[in-house]
Chains A and B, each alone.
Chain A
Amino acid sequence: MSPLKIEKGASSHSVYALRDPHSEIVEKHTLAVLVENEPGVLARVIGLFSGRGYNIESLTVAEVDHTGHRSRITIVTTGTPAVIDQIKAQLGRIVPVHQVHDLTVEGPAVERELALLKVANDGEKRVEALRLADIFRAKVVDSTLSSFVFELTGTPEKIDAFAELMRPLGLSELARTGVAALKRGEL
């Protein structure tokens, strides 16, 4: 009496045949999580990511509706499609979470980050830093005779690129907000 010997994928119904062949590829997704702004809600979201071993690349949060006490948390995370689906489902279970939007799949979105960069230098380097800032449309928001603080908004990639250029020119401190994102279009 031998057990049924069934090969993987032997049946036309096999789930293995249906599995997305790319499912092991790690993707980056931007999630917008609308929450009730009650104490501890951020701890719940962060605790979910650490407790279940998910990645957070960046996270921003602020109250966006002061009368309704709603906050918007924007999370950039990475994972295989299955992990991303789990993250969204797990976020959706948190009681004060009202909505979870995956801006990466819901259509085109605008993503912006703000950075402040302190660059300390003089002479040629100072001139070069200013010239590059101009190309990147960074603003000078503070200046001494031997330093600038630049303010730059853009995609995270643009900020990475600018920071790389500033590094040899005397970049001494960098503060970034993390990504804020909105879906494009009317709705």
Chain B
Amino acid sequence: MARQMTGAQMVVQALKDQGVDTVFGYPGGAVLPIYDEIFQQNEINHVLVRHEQGAVHAAEGYARSTGKPGVVLVTSGPGATNAVTGLTDALLDSIPLVVLTGQVATFLIGTDGFQEADTVGITRPCTKHNWLVKDTDKLADTIHQAFHVATSGRPGPVLIDIPKDVQFAEAGYIEPQKARTSHYQPKMKADIESINDLVSLIEKAERPVFYTGGGVINSGPAASQLLTELVEGTGIPITSTLMGLGAYPASGKNWLGMLGMHGLYEANMAMHGCDLMINVGARFDDRITGKVDEFSPGSHKVHIDIDPSSINKIIRVDLPIIGDVAHVLEDVLKVWKSRGRKTNAPAVAKWWEQIGEWRAINCLSYKNSDKVIKPQYALQRLEALTKNHDRYITTEVGQHQMWAAQFLGFEAPNRWMTSGGLGTMGYGFPASIGVQMAHRDALVINVAGEASWLMNMQEMGTAVQFNLPVKQFILNNERLGMVRQWQELMHGERYSHSWSESLPDFVKLAEAFGAKGILCKDPADLDDAIMEMINHDGPVIFDCLVEKHENCFPMIPSGKAHNEILLGAEAAAFSGGGALV
């Protein structure tokens, strides 16, 4: 006979059986029975955040840096609604999360009870799936299903809404092995015909390019290894989306850098000019394609994706391959090797020459200064002084995020956490907390803008309470920099509400929370200040005062084609055109 226990006990038991070691949460009336059970055990760490949005982003950071699902526990009503932004963020970036929400008792549902919200209704469009469990009998089974759904196929956030009486009532516990998961089994392996077709294309292509995305990271470390082997074996250039950075090492010889709206010139030009585009786990987002009608007009397009709905959603492709990236790449490598490791080497060598010319433009060049810290310089120094550490980077959203993607190098997957699809300001700080919880001895840095950082600054309390030595590296331009840049370039320099006034003194703010604050405004002091940050054993707010009006280039204005990319003054002067400063 199944073990009898209360619903609250079931929750904790099911989490343990699913291998959960950390839960990010915030208590309230509708989850008190579960909190009572958490109190009476030691296996699961509970991280008390300061706002439920922080809990969800922290769980995202945990998930993205470990490959395991992140777990969140919040109360009904406002607890659940505060989680909505994080759920949407995780949905757009395909991050596996299991979010447990309390709900008013079943007999109160529909009465506008205290702290009642239609949580499954509100979160239906922002979860991969969600459940309202009205019966303790079904609770354990549902939790196990939830872990299965969150992590199978294209990962994503799921939510289980648990009324309070269901937490109190007793029923039999169902073990994970006995849970009903068979109805959801996405296809992992692709048809061998399509694999053969791809190999034929690789063998003949004159101007091939790999365009990789977050799907490679989601597929697990094996996918990154297989990708690297295929790229090095074939000699094909590779670029990646923001979400896919680290799948192929930045120091690898075939690396073109990131592509897209603020991607590198050579990466975007290679996408525009290629004759074979191999999309591996990316989704032709509008920040990547620019003007769809003029996107890579001469290429044969291959798309490897686990989600059939990604195929032909935005860009029509010639060869769709539906399957898990690691499975597909393994098969591609096997077939490519068995057919004699062929490529069109002379043509690809010419292609590299062309890429070399694009590279020579040096699209990331900027005018440095010895008076004021340029944000790019700050990131170059951060990179130089931290790259040999066991390092994880999170970011907020804005110019600093794009500069971080351009100037920091990622050698391995799961080391870069950023809000790509939703572009959520306030993501980076709580995400850094989640990453640090999973990697206690690592150097975890949130590259932030001052405006984004303020959106979830309450999490300083969490960082201090749990001794999480997260480094908040704020590129403080006293501007909503990315907004200001668009206003400068697209709205006639009318800077409507895009500056940060009444900013706190970040050093004092750090001290008020019992943490360390560092202020740096002179380029000459930067290295020492960064070293001080790294060497401090505890959370640090690093207030790096940077140039206020720096623009982030290259930039493909929205709706423009890849070859209409704008360059900064330095690079444009060299290339002889295309400048807008």
Taking beta carbons and an 8 Å cutoff, which residues of A are in contact with B? Answer: 1, 3-4, 6-11, 13-16, 18-19, 36, 39-40, 43-44, 47, 51, 82, 85-86, 89-90, 92-96, 98
Interface size on B, residues (CB 8 A): 42
When chains A and B are docked, how far (Å) is the Cα of A15 from the Cα of B277? 11
Contacts A/B (CB < 8 Å), 28 sampled: A1-B358, A3-B269, A3-B272, A3-B358, A4-B269, A4-B563, A6-B273, A9-B297, A10-B298, A11-B297, A13-B298, A13-B300, A14-B297, A15-B299, A15-B317, A16-B297, A18-B316, A19-B316, A43-B121, A43-B124, A82-B312, A85-B312, A86-B309, A86-B312, A93-B154, A93-B308, A94-B129, A95-B149
A40 pairs with B120, CB closer than 8 A:
yes
Residues of B contacting A85 in the complex (Cβ-Cβ under 8 angstroms): 312
A3 touches B563 (CB 8 A): yes
Q: Which residues of A contact B528 (CB under 8 A)?
A: none
Q: Tell me whether A3 and B183 are in contact in the complex, defined as CB-CB below 8 angstroms, given that A14-B297, A15-B299 are known contacts.
A: no
Query: Chain B: interface secondary structure?
Result: mixed
A13→B183 CA distance, assembly (Å):
39
> Distance in Å from the Cβ of A94 to the closest Cβ of chain B?
8
**Nearest A residue to B201 by beta-carbon distance?**
A13
Residues of B within 8 A of A43 (CB): 121, 124
Q: Are A39 and B132 in contact (CB under 8 A)?
A: yes
Nearest Cβ on chain B to A173's Cβ, whole angstroms: 31
Given A18-B318, A86-B309, check contact A11 B299 (CB 8 Å).
yes
B-side interface residues toward A, CB under 8 Å? 120-121, 124-125, 128-130, 132, 149, 154, 183-184, 269, 272-273, 275-276, 293-294, 297-301, 307-309, 311-313, 315-318, 354, 357-358, 360-361, 563, 575-576
Q: In the assembly, what is the distance between CA of A3 and CA of B560, in Å?
A: 15
Asked if B318 and A6 make an inter-chain contact with CB atoms under 8 angstroms apart, the answer reads no
Q: In the complex, what residues of B have CB within 8 A of residue A6's CB?
A: 272-273, 297-298
Query: Complex formed: what's the CA distance from A16 to B184 in Å?
Result: 36
7 tightest CB-CB pairs across the interface, nearest first? A89-B309, A11-B298, A4-B273, A13-B300, A95-B129, A6-B298, A3-B563
* A residues in contact with B313, CB < 8 Å: 86, 89
A10, B311: Cα distance in complex, Å? 24
A13 near B184 (CB under 8 angstroms)?
no
Q: Are A40 and B297 in contact (CB under 8 A)?
A: no
Query: Are the C-beta atoms of A82 and B309 separated by less than 8 Å?
Result: no
| Residue pair B275, A11 in contact (C-beta under 8 Å) | yes
The smallest beta-carbon distance between A80 and chain B, in angstroms, is 11
Which chain B residue shows the least CB distance to A86? B313
Cβ contact of B309, chosen from A13, A92, A96, cutoff 8 A: A92
Give the Cβ gap from B152 to chain A, nearest Cβ, in Å: 10
A47–B127 Cα distance when bound, in Å, is 12
Known interface pairs A1-B357, A95-B184; A7-B297 also in contact (CB < 8 Å) = yes
With contacts A13-B275, A44-B124 taken as known, whether A93 is within 8 angstroms of B307 at the C-beta atoms is yes
B residues in contact with A86, CB < 8 Å: 309, 312-313
Residues on the B chain within 8 Å of A19, using CB:
316
Please determine whether B294 and A8 come into contact, CB atoms closer than 8 angstroms: yes
Q: Which residues of B contact A95 (CB under 8 A)?
A: 128-129, 149, 184
Contacts of A90 in B (CB 8 A): 309
Q: Which residues of B contact A10 (CB under 8 A)?
A: 297-298
The residue of chain A having its C-beta at the shortest distance from the C-beta of B130 within the complex is A40
B294–A36 CB distance below 8 A: no
* CB <8 Å contact, A14 and B298: yes
Are B125 and A47 in contact, with the CB atoms below 8 A?
yes
- Closest chain-B Cβ to A88's Cβ sits at a distance in Å of 9
For residue B318, which residues in chain A have a CB less than 8 angstroms away from its CB? Answer: 13, 15, 18
User: Of B125, B275, B298, which contacts A51 at CB under 8 A?
Assistant: B125
CB distance from B276 to the nearest CB of A (A): 8
Residues of B within 8 A of A7 (CB): 297-298
